[in-house]
Amino acid sequence: MTDTETLAFIRSVLFLTRKHDIEDDLRWLVEENGDIKFYVICSDTFAWGCADAEDITPENLPVFEQVCNECEALDANGADDIDHKFAILYAAQLFAARVRGMRPQGACYKSYPKRMWHLFNACGPERLLNLINPKPIPEI
C-alpha to C-alpha distance for 79 and 69, rounded to whole angstroms:
18
Burial 41-51 (b: 16+ CB within 10 A, else e): bbebbbeeeee
- Residue 71's SS3 state is helix
Cβ count near 102 (within 10 Å): 16
Q: Provide the pLDDT for residue 64.
A: 98
83 has a pLDDT exceeding 70: no
> In the Cβ-directed half-sphere of 31, how many Cα atoms lie within 13 Å?
5
pLDDT band, residue 82 (cuts 50/70/90): low
> What sign for the dihedral angle of Cα 108, 89, 67, 49?
negative
pLDDT band, residue 81 (cuts 50/70/90): low
Query: How does pLDDT run across 21-66, given as a tens digit for each residue?
Result: 999 999 999 999 999 999 999 999 999 899 999 999 999 999 999 9
- Residue 53's SS3 state is strand
Q: What is the pTM of this model?
A: 0.94
C-alpha to C-alpha distance for 92 and 54, rounded to whole angstroms:
8
Taking a C-beta distance cutoff of 8 angstroms, is the pair 31, 47 a contact?
Answer: no
